[in-house]
Structure 1
Amino acid sequence: MDRDIRVVQVGLGPMGLRIVRHILAERQGIMYVGAIDVAPELEGRDLGELAGVGPCAVPVSGDAARVFQETKPDIAIYTTVSYLKRFLPQTDVAIRNGVNVISTCEELSFPHFVDSELTARYDELCRKHGVTMLGTGITPGFLMDIRASVLTAACKDVQRIEVTRRMDATLGRQSFQQRMGVGMEMDAYRAAVAAGAIKGHVGLEMSICLIADAIGWALEEVRVMAPDPVMAGIPVASEFFTVGTGQVKGTEQQAVGIVNGEEKIRLDFAAYLGAEPSYDEVALYGTPELRARVTPSWPVDSGTVAMVVNLIPAVINACPGLLTINDLVPVSFKSGNMAGFVCQAG
């Protein structure tokens, strides 16, 4: 491309503004031409000023159709919602204007698992208008799925995969710590889980599906356990919360993928104040058997920003359709019939 990549930002919450700040202050060859948010108080505000990096002459608008029609961007970055059925209708206006889409929507990382019919409909819509859509992030999208899949590429055989993420929630935003139940009493935590107010980590199902899809394992079942509280044995504190002994300092949760009646994939997630050591680990059981650990655990927000921005050229270059990261990074051990991984012979 002999010009800068033209981008529209959709959604100006904390993550959206982090991406804006990073692109405006640290990246080259990419430029914002528009910004969209439904909050009326943001109408007309300068995008750069909102992100804290100074004016960039890009006003925020609530009129998505007008922004896409007038600015003709190459891609739109959506940082709006986590759930597929709320997210996909938001993208109609971008797709119909021929604009590629990349998003932090967790369920978009493997949309077939959530709603295969809706996914097929939007895949067809993307193809019709010649655009590509991708969901990505640090997890799902990298640490608990694609990283594990890529490591299997150097294996002659893989029988089982375990992925563990243990992160120090002290470093997370206040909203993240709240979602992990930090500072609650155990009974209140249990009640919040039962009511759906605390859901644990969004996207464990997607990570299991991404691993299985990459390797070629046909999942019979994906089981996601209810989140459990991690209790403080001693007082602990963050910038936002002070947690006493016997109170909740975070959350842990597990998920498994079942193939032929056997647990083939296991994900263990934990985020709590003072987690030490914090790490991200992949354990592969096969030929060879190995463990790959990164410590400390990968930062959530900066990692998500990097994944979104670094994948923009790949999305623009990709074939049209509603894709997953496996379509862009098809590097993994291949189980079973190798011919099943070939799209077109010859």
Structure 2
Amino acid sequence: MIRVAQWGTGNVGSLALGAILDDSTLALVALKVGRPENVGRDAADLAKRRSGAGSTGVLATDDSSVVLAARPDCVLYMDHDRDRGPQVIDELCALLSRGVNVVATTMPMLVHPDGAGPEVRARLQEACVAGGSSFLCTGIEPGFTADVLVLQFASLCRDVRSVRVAEAMNVASYRTKWRSGLGNDIRSDGETYRPGHIARGWTGTMRLLADGLGLELDDVREVRHVAAAGREFEVAAGRYGPDDIAALHFEVQGIVAGEPRLVVEHTYRLLDDVGPEWTQPVDPGRRTTRIRIGGTPEVDVTMSLGGEGLDPTDQGVLGTAMRAVHAIPLVVAAAPGLRTNVDLPTRSQMPRQPKNVSA
């Protein structure tokens, strides 16, 4: 039985918490929350579960020392990183240096050890050495589709000239504001959005792709386009006006030998009919990813997530949570240090039958 602490109960964290409770190989020993109103609540009250009911006896805390005192083998770190990047790194290093393995979705640039820069890499590595622990960031949206899955398909090729990963989805059901510009007034978007923010978030993915393909990455750039709604509308995150951005299209480009040979392209919409010229999902109710590899042979794969009761946001959030939960035993068993989705045995990241659920 692996002792696990859940850190964060937002969109992803609450699903991960439920998956931990439903997994007979994992034992929840601590729960860290950020919202004061959740402190003292039983984990069962904060979990989105597939099965089971009743209290767990594990009460939510906002005190990290309580988490350490519970002696977890692994912390599933899913706290937000909005305007608190340095604090996140401090918290990760504190856990790792105390001998606690960590699987994270936060700060997705950390899918590659160099994704957040050499100083952050050095700090995390030193913490792993000090504690004899391992760290893995599985990523988001839902993780692995833009890097590990691409590299698996690239193994079919004799040579690879280019990679393009395109994703399209409606995110109207997402309940929090976006840092990418969705919802901004298009007239002042240039003053609100920080250029380069999207590219920084995908630097780790670009480095992972380049390393896996044996390419030297010169730079990571972004190209971003937005479109206003043209009418008033309301979504889960709030009410918006006709000049507010209802569709976002961006490319993150990995520059190799002066050319954008590695490209991750995303189209996010709050309204399905805005920005019709940009990538469309195969079905409005499905989160769609298309992988195109220019090589010998060429590879063109379209993948979509679905499921009864799951909208496109739910599909990606659940996938993000489960990818991280399934990685827990791999990270606990791994040698100390900074791990990636490429060097771990991903074929073993298979779902386990939840407790109290018949086949």
Same fold per superposition (TM over 0.5) = yes
What amino acid maps onto 1:210 in structure 2? L
In 2, the alpha carbon distance for the partners of 1:107 and 1:290 equals: 26
Structure 2 matches for 1:93-112, cutoff 5 A? 93-105=94-106, 106-112=108-114
Q: Which residue of 1 aligns with 2:323?
A: 307
In 1, the alpha carbon distance for the partners of 2:221 and 2:198 equals: 14
Structure 2 matches for 1:125-164, cutoff 5 A? 125-139=127-141, 141-164=143-166
Identical counterparts, % of pairs: 27
In 2, the alpha carbon distance for the partners of 1:289 and 1:138 equals: 27
2:122 corresponds, among 109, 120, 123, to: 120
Structure 2 gap ranges (5+): 273-279, 283-287, 307-311, 348-359
What amino acid maps onto 2:72 in structure 1? P
Q: Secondary structure at the match of 2:145?
A: coil
Q: Which residue of 2 aligns with 1:37?
A: 33
Structure 2 matches for 1:1-346, cutoff 5 A? 4-24=1-21, 26-51=22-47, 54-69=54-69, 71-82=70-81, 85-105=86-106, 106-139=108-141, 141-170=143-172, 172-175=173-176, 178-179=178-179, 181-194=181-194, 199-200=197-198, 203-225=201-223, 227-232=224-229, 238-241=235-238, 247-275=244-272, 276-278=280-282, 279-295=288-304, 299-328=315-344
Shift of 1:98: 1.5
Q: Secondary structure at the match of 1:187?
A: coil
TM-score normalised by structure 2 residue count: 0.79
In 1, the alpha carbon distance for the partners of 2:35 and 2:183 equals: 30
In 1, the alpha carbon distance for the partners of 2:256 and 2:157 equals: 19
Q: Secondary structure at the match of 1:114?
A: coil
What amino acid maps onto 1:326 in structure 2? V
Cα gap change, 1:157/1:61 in structure 2, threshold over 3 Å: closer, same or farther? same
Cα gap change, 1:244/1:165 in structure 2, threshold over 3 Å: closer, same or farther? same
What amino acid maps onto 1:102 in structure 2? V
TM-score normalised by structure 1 residue count: 0.82
Structure 1 gap ranges (5+): 332-346
Cα gap change, 1:247/1:152 in structure 2, threshold over 3 Å: closer, same or farther? same
Would you identify which runs of 4 or more consecutive aligned residues in structure 1 move more than 6 Å?
A: 233-236
1:184-235 CA-to-partner distances (Å, cap 9, x unmatched) read 43213333215x7x9558722222111111111111111123x321333677
Cα gap change, 1:314/1:206 in structure 2, threshold over 3 Å: closer, same or farther? same
Q: Secondary structure at the match of 1:292?
A: strand
Q: Secondary structure at the match of 1:186?
A: coil
Shift of 1:328: 1.3
- Higher share in helix: 1
Structure 1 stretch displaced more, 298-307 or 83-92: 83-92
What amino acid maps onto 1:273 in structure 2? L
In 2, the alpha carbon distance for the partners of 1:330 and 1:228 equals: 35
